[in-house]
Amino acid sequence: MSDTPALRWVYADAVCDLFHVGHVEFFRQARALGDRLIVGLVGDADVGTYKPLPILTFAERLGVVRACRFVDRVVEQPVPLTPKCAFLDSIGAEFLCHGDDMAEAELRKFYADLMEHGRLRTVRYTSHISSRQIVERVLKRAQEGTLRR
């Protein structure tokens, strides 16, 4: 029998299109809730059901998430859009972490099973940057003619 306590694994699901400092900050905060962080990326088809399709391919998104120093493990296949406790158990995670940018009703839409079992935590959302905001900046600069190659 080992005297070493088991590691506490945290899971975060994300899209991570146009990877930016907001994603890094989310992963930093999520990892701080435990000892290790597992990240799973939502597949393009599922993303398209609730927001614009990602610009980066799944493989490209996976590559940048793998490179983040706060991420200890990445699920290599697209993850469930509405994860259940059984999924967390299958990857060895104690709970799922999400940003606090969603109202409770919206969280319940995606994470009802986890909420019912006390397996959802939230961290502060970084509101000053998002993939959508980056796209809007690019479009604005293209329209103004200030986008350079």
Provide the whole-model pTM. Answer: 0.90
Beta-bridged to residue 56, according to DSSP, are none
Structure-block tokens of residue 11: 């899971």
**Residue 44 pLDDT exceeds 70:** yes
C-alpha span between 18 and 146 (Å, rounded): 20
**Residue ranges per domain, the chain?**
9-144
C-alpha span between 31 and 35 (Å, rounded): 7
At 148, is the pLDDT very low, low, confident or very high (cuts 50, 70, 90)? confident
Residues near 55 by Cβ (< 8 Å), separated by ≥ 6? 17, 18, 131, 135
- pLDDT per residue as tens digits for the range 105-134: 999 999 999 999 999 999 998 888 888 888
Look-up of token digits 């597949």 = 43
- Domain 9-144 -> CATH class: alpha beta
